[in-house]
Chain A
Amino acid sequence: MRKLIASIKKEFQLLIHDKVGLLLMYAMPIVLVFIITLVQDSAFKIVNDNQLEILVTNQDKGALGDSLVNILKKSGSFIVEEHNQLSEHSMQQKGIKDGKLASVFIPSNFSEAIQNNTGSVTKLILKEFGMNDDSLMIANKNTQLTIYFDPILQQNYQYTLVTNIQTILFGMENQVLIHNLFSEMGYDEIPDYIAEKLTGEQTPVVAKQASLGKKQTVVPNSTQHNVPAWSIFAMFFMVVSLGGNIVKERNSGSFVRLMTIPPSFTFTLISKMLIYLGVAMSQLLLLFSIGYSIFPLIGLPALQIPASLAQLVVVALLSGMAAVSYAVLIGTYAKTQEQANGFGAISIVIFAAIGGIWVPTFVMPDYMQTIALFSPLYWCLDGFYTLFLKNGDWNELSSSTIFLSFFVIVCQILTFVKLKFQNYL
C-alpha cells in the first residue's frame, strides 16, 4: 500500500508539472463548452424565439397580400421590413446587403390567383353536392410566393421558414374558400358564430418531452445537450496527456529501472490510471458546476442535475475508466510521443464525430448510426442523455453500462498482453 501511495504521489507531481496537458484537459473543454453552448443557444433562439428578420416586397393588387404581411407581423416569428416598390431582383440584392436572412416577394396577381383557385375548388364542392354545373367551372390561375434566402442560412432553418409561411397561406386559403362557399350560397358574410368557431376552436398541439422515468422531465436545451457531450470529449482527450506520458516514461529509461524493482511497474500503471480517473472526475465536476452555476449568469439555461446521483456516479466512473483505459492502450502501443499524440487526438475526434458529440446520431444515415455503436463516446453520451434528458432508470442505462464495461475490459486486456509480451509485467 505504501508503494501504491508513493506511486500515486509521484504521478500527481508529474501531472502538476505538465502545464500543457493540464491546459488541454481543463481549459480547452471549458472554452469549448462555453462557445458551443452559446452558439447553439443563439441558433436555437433564432428559430424558436421568433426573431428572424425578413424583407417583404408586396406588389399584390388585392387585399390578400396585405393580409399575409399583417399575419407575418402579428405572428411574432418575424421582424418584417416592407419595401413594396422594389423589383424582385432589387429585393434580393437589398435583402443580402441589409443582412436579412430571407426576403419574400408577393406578386401582383397574388390575391387574384388565390381567389380564382379557391373559387375553382368552391365550384367543385358545390358540383359534388349537386348545386352547380360544369358551365360555371373556373380555370386555375398560376401564381407563386417566392422566398429568397441568404445563402449563409442553413437548410434546416430555410425549411422551418418555408413551413411557417406555407401554414399561414394554408390558413388564408381555407378562410377564402369558406367565405366563397357562403357567398355562393347567398350569404354576404360568414355568420359570426361560425367565424368564431373557425378561428377559436382549432385542435391544440401541445409539445411535451418524452420521459423514461416517472419523475418530471427535464426540458432539453443547449446546456443539457452540450455540457455532458463536451465533458465526455474532454475526458477522452486526456489521451494526449496520459498516452504521451506513458510513451515518454517508457522511452526515458525510468520504466527500465522500474522493471528491476518489482512490482513497481504495475503500481506505476495503476497509479497513473487512478490519478487520471481523478482528472476525468474533476473535469466532469468542473464542467457540470460551470453549467449549473455560471451558465445562468450569462443568460444560458442552467444545467439540471439528474435526480439519481448514484446513477450519475456510475455512468461518470465508467466513462472515466473508458477514457483512461483507451489512453493507456494508446500509450502502450505507440512507439513515440508523436504517434500517441497524433493518433490519440485524431481517433478521439473521429470517435466524437461518429459518436454524436457534434451532430446527433439520429440525423445520420443508417450505416453511420451502425458505425456509431463502435464509438465509446456514443455509449458515454447515451448513458448521460438517459440521465440528463430522459430521467432513465437502471434498466435503461444497462446497454451503455454493459458496453462501457466491455470496452474497459478489452482495452485492459490488450494493454496487459502488450506489456507482458514486452516483459514489463
Chain B
Amino acid sequence: MEQKIIEIQSVFKNYGKSIVPAVDGICLDVVKGEKLGVFGPNGAGKTTLISMMCGILKPTRGTINYTINENQFDAKTALKFIGYVPQDFAFYPELSAEQNLTYFGKMYGLNSQILIKKIDFLLEKLGLSAVRHKKLSTYSGGMKRRINLAIGILNDPKLLFLDEPTVGVDVQSKYAIDQLLDELNEKGTTIVFTSHHLKESEQFCDRIALIDKGKIIEIGTLQTLLSTYQVADLEELLIHLTGKELRD
C-alpha cells in the first residue's frame, strides 16, 4: 500500500487583505518516494503551495501533516527532514562554494567529518570541485543553479522541494542536476518540484498535479492524463485545461 508522506487538507492562503486566495482549498496527498511535478501558468499558486509545504508560509486555513519514519509531524517539526531549493539563488555570493556549503551544513547540524565528505562528494558530482574556493558571484548561471541545489540537499532530506530547479541552465548542468535528483530519489527521497520546462519534466515525474487559480484542476500519472484528455503531451494538456489567455 502507498504511504502518504504529506497530507494536505483544505489549505487556503490569502496574502494581506486580498480576498482572492493564492491557494484556494487545496487537498493533496504526496506519496512517499514519488516525484511529484506541480505545473501551472504564472500566478497559479505553485510557489505559494510549495512554500507552505516546506514551512516558509503558514496557511491561512487548513492543515498540512507529515508522516516521516512512521511518525507524525507538523510543518514546524518536519523541517529537519526537509530540503528546499528555491527559484532564486539562496546563498551568499560574496562567499565561496565551500564557505557556503560549510555554513549551511553546520546550520543543518551536520558533524564536521561528515560535512567535509558530503561537500567533497557534492562538488565532485556537480563538477564544481575545481572552483570550490571561488566566490559564487563569479560563477555562471548554470554553476549557481548547481550550487543552489547542492545546499538544498546537504542534509540528505526525506522530502525535497524544488522551485524551478533548472531555469536558465545549459543542457550539461540540467543533465547533472537531473542525475543527482534521480540518485536521491532512488535512495528514498520524495521530490516535489515545479517547472516551466514541461517537455523535460514529463520524463522526470511519476505524477503530475496541474494547478490554476489556486486550485488543483487535475492530478495523476502522465499516461493517465494524456489518455483521459486525448492530448499528445503535457504542454498541450496544460493549454487544454488552462486556456491560451496570457497570465500575469
A and B are partners in one complex rather than unrelated chains: yes
Q: Residues on A close to B: CB < 8 A? A: 2-3, 6-7, 9-10, 13-14, 17-18, 249, 252-254, 256-262, 264, 267, 423
* Most interface-central of B56, B106, B107 (chain A CB within 10 A): B107
- B100-123 residues with Cβ-Cβ distance < 8 A to A are 102-104, 106-109
| Min CB–CB distance B134 → chain A (angstroms) | 13
Contact in complex: A13, B107 (CB < 8 Å): no
Contact in complex: A423, B57 (CB < 8 Å): yes
- CA A378 – CA B106 in complex, angstroms? 41
Contacts of A13 in B (CB 8 A): 94-95, 99
Known contacts A13-B94, A13-B95, A262-B76; 19 additional CB pairs below 8 A are A3-B109, A7-B107, A13-B99, A14-B92, A249-B92, A252-B90, A252-B92, A253-B91, A254-B91, A257-B90, A257-B91, A258-B107, A259-B55, A261-B79, A261-B107, A262-B79, A264-B107, A423-B56, A423-B57
Contact in complex: A252, B58 (CB < 8 Å): no
Contacts of B90 in A (CB 8 A): 252-254, 256-257
Contact in complex: A253, B104 (CB < 8 Å): no
| Min CB–CB distance A331 → chain B (angstroms) | 16
Contacts of A262 in B (CB 8 A): 76, 79
Contact in complex: B103, A260 (CB < 8 Å): no
| Min CB–CB distance B147 → chain A (angstroms) | 12
Contact in complex: B58, A257 (CB < 8 Å): no
- CA A15 – CA B57 in complex, angstroms? 30
Contacts of B76 in A (CB 8 A): 262
- CA A17 – CA B96 in complex, angstroms? 11
A-B contacts at CB below 8 angstroms, number? 73
Contact in complex: A10, B99 (CB < 8 Å): yes
Contact in complex: B152, A261 (CB < 8 Å): no
- Would you give the 0/1 interface string for B14-25, flagging 1 where the beta carbon is closer than 8 Å to chain A? 000000000000
Contact in complex: B107, A6 (CB < 8 Å): yes
- CA A215 – CA B27 in complex, angstroms? 76
Q: Does B86 contact A (CB under 8 A)?
A: yes
Contact in complex: A10, B95 (CB < 8 Å): yes
| Min CB–CB distance B62 → chain A (angstroms) | 16
| Min CB–CB distance A246 → chain B (angstroms) | 13
Contacts of A260 in B (CB 8 A): 54-56, 79, 82-84
- CA A9 – CA B86 in complex, angstroms? 24
Q: Does B151 contact A (CB under 8 A)?
A: yes
Contact in complex: B55, A10 (CB < 8 Å): no
Contact in complex: A254, B55 (CB < 8 Å): no
Contacts of A18 in B (CB 8 A): 94
Contacts of A9 in B (CB 8 A): 103
- CA A227 – CA B54 in complex, angstroms? 51
Contacts of A423 in B (CB 8 A): 56-58
